[in-house]
Structure 1
Amino acid sequence: MITKKRVATATLALVMGATGALVFGSSVPLAQAADEAFQMGDAKAGKKVFRKCMACHDIGPNAKAKVGPPLTGVVGRHAGAVDGFKYSDAMSTKGTEGLVWTPENINHMLTKPKDFVPGTKMSFAGLRKDKERADVIAYLATFSDK
């Protein structure tokens, strides 16, 4: 059950980076709290925010690569894993190192891509608002099995 305390913890998790530590004696680990925050995102609102992404990314059953890879199934996918898409060396390395697009990692990427994956080709400056990122992640999750 999502409570006000968990929402506060989840918000703090977004700010602190979801390290898996406990916050102020709470029994809710940050990673779990962050997952709950993203589940609280509004996919319908996320669809509107996703318009900022559409110049470079496609999503849906017939999605194709554009400047960026298609994002269908991105939640839970390894970084750099879309066959046929030419990723930056930095993103390919992250994928080889085991980076998985969890809600927390997507949140970090959407906050400031070049800080999360230095050397990425993604030129997007990022989404500054926690709510917008949560909404986009909720929208992306509607196109994922995970």
Structure 2
Amino acid sequence: MDTATVLKAIGDETRFKILTLLLQHNYCVRALSRKLGLSESAISQHIKVLREAGLLVGVKKGYYVHYDVNRDVLHQLASQIKELAALERELCRPDKVGCESAERKRCHLQKGSHNCSNGGQPFCHDKDSEEGRVKNHGNCKCHKS
């Protein structure tokens, strides 16, 4: 499964609607066309993209092809998104990632320091628009609010 291809395929609102309908019931192009109020040729183009992404399989029934969702691809995508969401942010270590000297000065966690300097705040803090406080976004270990 090519994750980027699958995400692009379901990123279109019409294709997402087609996928949702096909998760509930098998439909042919004509039925999808009627349900969504689009031309059969437009539905066919969307089906082509979904098939190329591996999301759909078609079964010929008489003159028509009825489509079904390959749920294994959706489960694989869900697993990859779950893994992505579980990634932990690493501490800023400019010496380990090869930052340029200008970037190195702006990193407020160098040399084990956990205190924010004015130069480091844009990397980990933002003003709370409602209360005017500085909010820590988890990028450093200094004055959490």
TM-score (norm 2): 0.25
Task: Please state which structure has a larger fraction of its residues in strand.
Answer: 2
> Radius of gyration: which is bigger?
2
TM-score (norm 1): 0.25
**Higher RCO structure, 1 or 2 (CA under 8 Å, sep 6+):** 1
Task: Please state which structure has a larger fraction of its residues in helix.
Answer: 2
